[in-house]
């Protein structure tokens, strides 16, 4: 794995040493020698990770980190503070400033590289979500996710530990701000993660009953556990387990004896990151849904229908089963808009879409075709059954007035429906749509409020 690393330190020899080590591992290195230069380089070079010294003249590393994390353009870039400071209060100060990790010099090279690679992998996953979210923003579909600096709410935390005194300590440190559960068995942990909807998992790698690393690997392989941050607790000096844990994708770690303030700081950081990643995923999913959904009615839009018609026709041709198309139109809809306003017209369209959804099956494809026209594609359906469904829908629309938000508070609406069916799947999608459209025109010419099936 390669990545662009920004090294920030006011001592030239420190910079050169890290640059040489990172370059030997095939990382691209960018350097800065003070806080202001670091902020400029972050904007210019777009690093994948920042190794930041704390003790610098002028602007110290804590302030640099805070500014990076407060900037929505750079808040997602991981920051590792590499410094001679070695007190728990120093680590907490760095984490509170937004740092992703705090490493004390002299740093073991293997541990440093493992942490850098781990954070870069996690950033690449976030970058992919950010890129997709940006596409949605450019299309005007979604608003940007919050930045990482915003305060994180409490979360649901699962502690996996088989020492009762440690479980009690974690509970006292994390509750009541968080909802804490604890398990001490491998199988129970897997079951809980599969159904628990947790925001963070804390795994002790000193478990006596089973291998904590194997559990982490198992949890990462579960669909329900893939996006849940994992924080492991390792014994001080156990570099092997820590390196293996980072390589398999855990998000963060604590070393025993665990400092309470450091625990809460790292937990807040992971909860904040998960909320940000969840929001990105939500925005990506929302973008996908909005790209294929008509925003007024909630039905699929014409674009989605066009992309799936050939697939549905192909399935019908291969199976030899019939497929039917319904095109329906609200009668005299223009007069609804002219008399009551376009907002009332929108209310009528929304309610009509709801009635369509209530009268078709789950396998049917219901779409807003444009204006007041709607299309329903019905796989495995012959013209007789399609006509029965269409007549039921027409009758329900005629019998039950549409509720509206202004006087007269309801409107009597009727619809016309045209049907075309391919009994052996030989027709193309365009041909079926055209035939259904012609049937709709016949229904309108013959007086509206009726169902006409194409005779082909």
Residue 405 tokens, joined: 């938000």
For residues 401 and 163, give the distance between their C-alpha atoms in angstroms, rounded to a whole number.
66
Query: Cβ distance 280 to 145 under 8 Å?
Result: yes
Is residue 372 part of the annotated active site? The answer reads yes
For residues 126 and 413, give the distance between their C-alpha atoms in angstroms, rounded to a whole number.
49
In the chain, % helix, strand, coil (3-state, to 5) comes to 50, 20, 30
For residues 319 and 150, give the distance between their C-alpha atoms in angstroms, rounded to a whole number.
55
C-alpha closest to that of 351 among 324, 380, 375, 372: 372
Per-residue CA distances from 97 to 167, 267, 303, 328, 411 (Å): 28, 14, 46, 59, 60
For residues 379 and 309, give the distance between their C-alpha atoms in angstroms, rounded to a whole number.
10
For residues 325 and 437, give the distance between their C-alpha atoms in angstroms, rounded to a whole number.
9
In the set 133, 150, 372, 398, the catalytic residue is: 372
For residues 253 and 231, give the distance between their C-alpha atoms in angstroms, rounded to a whole number.
5
Spacing of C-alpha 87 from chain mean position: 37
For residues 256 and 258, give the distance between their C-alpha atoms in angstroms, rounded to a whole number.
5
Query: Cβ distance 372 to 336 under 8 Å?
Result: no
Active site residues: 372
């Amino acid at each position: 794995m390669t990545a662009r690393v920004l090294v920030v330190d006011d001592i030239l020899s420190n910079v050169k040493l890290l640059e040489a080590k990172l370059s030997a591992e095939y990382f691209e290195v960018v350097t800065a020698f003070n806080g202001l230069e670091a902020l400029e380089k972050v904007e210019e070079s777009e690093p994948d990770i920042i190794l930041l010294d704390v003790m610098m003249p002028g602007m110290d590393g804590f302030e640099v980190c805070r500014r990076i994390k407060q900037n929505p353009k750079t808040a997602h870039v991981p920051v590792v503070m590499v410094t001679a400071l070695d007190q728990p209060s120093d680590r907490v100060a760095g984490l509170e400033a937004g740092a992703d990790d705090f490493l004390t010099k002299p740093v073991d090279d293997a541990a440093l590289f493992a942490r850098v690679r781990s954070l870069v992998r996690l950033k690449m996953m976030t970058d992919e979500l950010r890129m997709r979210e940006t596409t949605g923003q450019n299309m005007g579909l979604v608003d940007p996710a919050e930045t990482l600096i915003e305060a994180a709410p409490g979360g649901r935390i699962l502690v996996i530990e088989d020492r009762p005194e440690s479980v009690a300590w974690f509970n006292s440190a994390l509750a009541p701000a968080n909802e804490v559960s604890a398990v001490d068995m491998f199988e129970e942990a897997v079951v809980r993660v599969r159904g628990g909807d947790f925001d963070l998992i804390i795994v002790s790698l000193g478990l006596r009953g089973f291998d904590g690393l194997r559990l982490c690997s198992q949890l990462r392989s579960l669909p329900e556990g893939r996006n849940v941050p994992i924080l492991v607790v390792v014994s001080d000096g156990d570099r092997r387990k820590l390196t293996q844990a980072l390589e398999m994708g855990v998000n963060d770690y604590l070393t025993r004896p665990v400092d309470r303030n450091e625990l809460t700081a790292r937990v807040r950081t992971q909860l904040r990151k998960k909320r940000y990643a969840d929001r990105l995923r939500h925005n990506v999913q929302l973008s996908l849904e909005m790209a294929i959904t008509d925003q007024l009615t909630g039905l699929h839009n014409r674009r989605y229908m066009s992309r799936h018609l050939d697939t549905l026709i192909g399935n019908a041709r291969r199976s030899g089963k019939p497929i039917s198309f319904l095109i329906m139109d609200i009668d005299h809809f223009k007069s609804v808009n002219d008399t009551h306003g376009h907002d009332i017209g929108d209310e009528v369209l929304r309610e009509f879409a709801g009635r369509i959804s209530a009268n078709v099956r789950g396998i049917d494809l219901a779409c807003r075709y444009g204006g007041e026209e709607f299309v329903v594609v019905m796989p495995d359906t012959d013209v007789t059954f399609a006509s029965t469904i269409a007549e039921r829908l027409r009758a329900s629309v005629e019998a039950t007035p549409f509720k509206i938000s202004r006087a007269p508070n309801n409107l009597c609406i009727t619809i016309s429906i045209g049907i075309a069916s391919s009994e052996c799947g030989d027709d193309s999608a365009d041909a079926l749509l055209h035939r259904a459209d012609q049937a709709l025109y016949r229904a309108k010419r013959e007086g509206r409020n009726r169902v006409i099936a194409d005779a082909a």
